[in-house]
Amino acid sequence: MRRASTRLALLGLALLALGLPATALAAPSVTFKAKAIPIKKNPASKGGPTWPHTGNILGAPTAVEAEFKISGSEYFGGPLPLTNVTVTFPTGAKVTTKGFSTCSKPILDSHEVQQCPKKSIAGPQGEAGGVVSFGSTRVHEKLTVQPFFAAGGGLAFYAEGREPALIELLSTGGFTSLSPTPTLSTEVPLVITVPEAPYGSAEYIKVAVGAAFMKGKKLVSYGTLPKKCKGKFSETATLTFLGGVKVNATASQPCPKK
């Protein structure tokens, strides 16, 4: 086993290896789900209490759970490798980045995330799955995904897999817009487990982001739902894959209670 490495500089070479221009690459199929959930008092815990009056309530502090399923056979029998995920949240949603502890860039870049401050954990541990090359064989791998608050109001998602390949993957994101529709864009590095082998392909991602702290008698939340809703809330996502292939997906849910 060897540590997985990112090879963004080899993207063009990968296209040549496929023998296809970017415009000729087929697009994977994507399904997207999102829901507002209560905020854990301790995001690092697997269970435990949540802050009262948080979650799927109009105008309330909330965490958001997002789930993506990706399918396709256009890249060595699997979907094209994922390179970016951009999500736009409902108009009127609010994001507050000030006051939250962050994990420093050197620690995140070194993947020594156990050194990150506990209060920099941005949500419960999530999960992901996909296919990677192990020898000459494409095999499925499961990963854990831990979100962290990063400097400058950004987010970092540390993904780790143990079997059959050792994978340590850091995806970094930031808000390109905060008002009136918060938009989060996250870069996903390409991963290779064996030199000159195909990149890994993501097939499933499920992650939740949300944290809060008390400031005097007020609960300060990273995310807050809009105060108004007509019919339903919708979040839109654009997933970008190897070669610049883009796929749009929408997640909708009924308006929450007041």
Q: Which amino acid is at 106?
A: P
d(CA 151, CA 178): 16
For residue 95, what are its two tokens?
A: 């994001």
pLDDT digits (tens, 9 = 90+) for 85-119: 999 999 999 999 999 999 999 999 999 999 999 99
The span from the CA of 36 to the CA of 29, in Å, is: 24
Q: Which residues 6+ apart lie within 8 Å of 245 measured at CB?
A: 22, 25, 26, 27, 28, 80
Strand runs labelled E in 18-98: 29-37, 63-71, 82-88, 94-95
119-156 pLDDT, tens per residue?
999 999 999 999 998 767 888 999 999 999 999 889 99
φ/ψ region of 23 (left if φ > 0, alpha if ψ in -120 to 50, else beta) reads: alpha
Following DSSP, what letter does each residue of 183-207 receive, concatenated? EEEEE---EESSTTSPPPEEEEEEE
* Residue 21 predicted with pLDDT over 50: no
**Whole-number mean pLDDT of the chain?**
88
How far is it, in rounded angstroms, from Cα 131 to Cα 165?
10
The C-alpha angle with vertex 234 and arms to 232 and 239, in degrees rounded to 5, equals 160
Q: Is the pLDDT of residue 5 over 50?
A: no
Residue pLDDT, tens place only, 31-86 = 999 999 999 999 888 788 999 999 999 999 999 999 999 999 999 999 999 999 99
The predicted-structure confidence for 235-253, as pLDDT tens digits, reads as follows 999 999 999 999 999 999 9
The pLDDT of residue 24 is 57
pTM (two decimals): 0.88
Question: How far apart, in Å, are the Cα atoms of 233 and each of 54, 98, 215, 252?
Answer: 17, 26, 29, 6
Kindly state the percentage of the chain with pLDDT values over 70: 90
Q: What confidence score (pLDDT) does residue 191 get?
A: 86
Average pLDDT score over residue span 206-229: 95
Q: Which residues contact 166 (CB under 8 A, 6 or more apart)?
A: 1, 2, 3, 4
Please tell me the distance from the alpha carbon of residue 108 to that of residue 131, in angstroms, as a whole number. 24
Q: Does residue 203 contact residue 130 with C-beta atoms inside 8 Å?
A: yes
CA distance 26 to 125: 32
Is there a cis peptide before residue 164, judged by omega within 30 degrees of 0? yes
CA distance 57 to 37: 9
Q: In the prediction, which pLDDT does 2 show?
A: 36
pLDDT greater than 70 at residue 6: no
pLDDT value for 138 = 87
- Residue 68's pLDDT is what? 98
| 87, 146 contact by CB (below 8 A) | no
The two tokens of residue 176 are 């390109």
User: What is the per-residue pLDDT for 196?
Assistant: 82
Q: Evaluate if residue 1 carries a pLDDT over 60.
A: no
**pLDDT digit string, tens, across residues 180-214:** 899 999 999 998 877 888 999 999 999 999 999 99
The region of weakest confidence among 8-12, 155-159, 224-228 is 8-12
Q: Is the CB of residue 132 less than 8 Å from the CB of residue 193?
A: yes
